[in-house]
Amino acid sequence: MKRATILSWKSIAGRWALLVMVSLLGAMSGCVTNPVTGESEFSLLSREDEIALGQEGDAQIVAEFGVYDDAAVAAYVDSLGQALARNSDDPNLVWTFRVLDSPVINAFALPGGFVYVTRGLLAYLQDEAQLAVVLGHEIGHVTARHTARQYTSSQLAQLGVGLGSILFEDVRPFLGAVETGLELLFLKYSRDDERQADELGVKYATKIGYKASEGSRFFGTLKRVSDQEQGGALPTWASTHPDPAEREQTVLNLAAQYAGQFPGDEVKGTDSSAFIPRFDKIVFGQNPRHGFVQGGVFYHPDLRFQFNVPSGWAVGNFASQVQLAPNVAQPDAAILLGTQPDGDPQSAAQQFVSANGATVQESQAGTVNGLSAYRLRSSIQLEDGSSITVLSYFIRKSTPEGTLLFVFHGYSSPAQFGSYVTTFTSVFNSFNEVTNGAVLAVVPNRLDVFNAPRTDQFSALVQTGAGLTVEDLAIMNQRQTSDQVQAGAVLKQVR
């Protein structure tokens, strides 16, 4: 969790109704023109709908995962993305390119021109041409309307189906997944869509002078990491972009084809020594400053708070909130923790009741480990006619970023609530200031870019750390452990 947010049960539980409404309104548009093919195709989304849906999804993606806080990296990715977009099949669309603060290796796009790469992906690229092909691929998904088409198919299939049907397997324990941005993120492209996006990515990159065959090397890297575990709620490239092995050769063939169509005096983007140092010191892996679990306790060094994690519960740590649920196939309870601007805990509780039309069952002012707090138990009617019982704590605490209200919600169905209320209470009452010096001093692992001091075997030049093996580092550098590396070559390790 990194930033403040105001939790809204109505916005979470009512998302399905909004999606259906958008679909029904979009249906009036009937057919739209595909910018890539020039053909008319049926869609629930007009161009204006696509942009509006992308804007809504973008806000939710940013809130869930956060934007990586490095202005130079953001500007660099945006500049390259804009150059590719200007030479795409939809150059007049207003395009947005973001670097997400996620350790997983992925890139994806939303309708309306929103394209994302993760800091995790940037660490595994070797040159600018590879990034150009990746960004071009995602631009291709937008220009060919793949996400809009999949969204149309998804909504047609789901009309009349209840809220539970759109809780995705990857984030099923967390009710926060019922959001437009995440629904779009987890839509699956067909193999034909992926092939077309590959072709468009190569086309757009080649068109502005990049050696698009470099993209095949990145697909080779994906093949090597596809079996590795990637933490976090964001899906990996391997789960959203299938079969990197086949596409490695496909990209090579496409690059040769488009190199003949867009010949140039120079083929740019292959200088690793200019590209890799741009990402020196980029955070690698999970950032413990934004929260981590150790010994059954969740610690947040930046905001200086901690609380106990129930045994057998899974933890999802997002940019805007921490989410917990029993680690079972069909969880029937959850805990959410978010923050709000400084205020009176009792007033915040009253605002929560009013905003959600809640029925108060009990309420009481008090303290939690010396911190001013307010306890609220309420019932909230959901859009589908069912209800949930919610135990909420509003706790006022100073942080290095200023005083905030920390808001816990523990919820379940009325029938199950009694089984969880003791757990909820125990977790909420464990909220406290972090005083452990080691926790407060924890720092993230970062990419360490250096020049090989001598000509030697790769395995002899890098230092392992952060739980990575020599093979892991070889994959990151797109090399083999036995490769001979020339003195002065730019290499990456993690420290």
Residue 7: what pLDDT? 40
Residue 34: what pLDDT? 76
Q: pLDDT (tens digit, 9 = 90+) per residue, 24-34?
A: 344 444 567 77
Residue 11: what pLDDT? 39
pLDDT at 108 over 60: yes
pLDDT at 175 over 80: no
Tokens of residue 423, six digits = 């757990």
pLDDT at 287 over 90: yes
Which of 5-9, 16-20, 320-324, 434-438 has the least mean pLDDT?
16-20
Give the mean pLDDT of 161-177: 29
Give the mean pLDDT of 447-454: 98
More confident residue, 129 or 174: 129
Residue 61: what pLDDT? 87
Give start-end residues of each CATH 3.40.1000.10 domain in the chain: 288-440
Give the mean pLDDT of 43-58: 80
More confident residue, 8 or 381: 381
Query: Average per-residue pLDDT in the chain?
Result: 84
CB atoms within 10 A of CB 451: 12
More confident residue, 441 or 260: 441
Under the banding of pLDDT at 50, 70 and 90, the label for residue 208 is very high
For residues 107 and 235, give the distance between their C-alpha atoms in angstroms, rounded to a whole number: 10
pLDDT at 42 over 90: no
Residue 147: what pLDDT? 74
For residues 378 and 255, give the distance between their C-alpha atoms in angstroms, rounded to a whole number: 60
For residues 21 and 38, give the distance between their C-alpha atoms in angstroms, rounded to a whole number: 28
Give the mean pLDDT of 287-296: 96
Residue 23: what pLDDT? 37
* Beta-carbon contacts of residue 160 (< 8 Å; ≥ 6 apart): none
Give the mean pLDDT of 254-277: 89
Residue 265: what pLDDT? 59
Residue 65: what pLDDT? 85
Whole-number percent of the chain with pLDDT over 70: 79
Residue 13: what pLDDT? 35
Tokens of residue 201, six digits = 């990515």
Give the mean pLDDT of 146-152: 68
pLDDT at 107 over 70: yes
For residues 280 and 100, give the distance between their C-alpha atoms in angstroms, rounded to a whole number: 17
Residue 30: what pLDDT? 53
- Please determine, looking at this structure, whether the domain spanning 288-440 carries the CATH number 3.40.50.300: no
More confident residue, 244 or 322: 322
Which of 368-377, 383-392, 484-493 has the least mean pLDDT?
383-392
For residues 251 and 270, give the distance between their C-alpha atoms in angstroms, rounded to a whole number: 16
* Beta-carbon contacts of residue 13 (< 8 Å; ≥ 6 apart): 163, 175, 178, 380, 382, 383
More confident residue, 89 or 185: 89
Q: pLDDT (tens digit, 9 = 90+) per residue, 212-246?
A: 999 999 988 888 887 555 444 455 555 556 565 67
More confident residue, 365 or 264: 365
* Beta-carbon contacts of residue 467 (< 8 Å; ≥ 6 apart): none
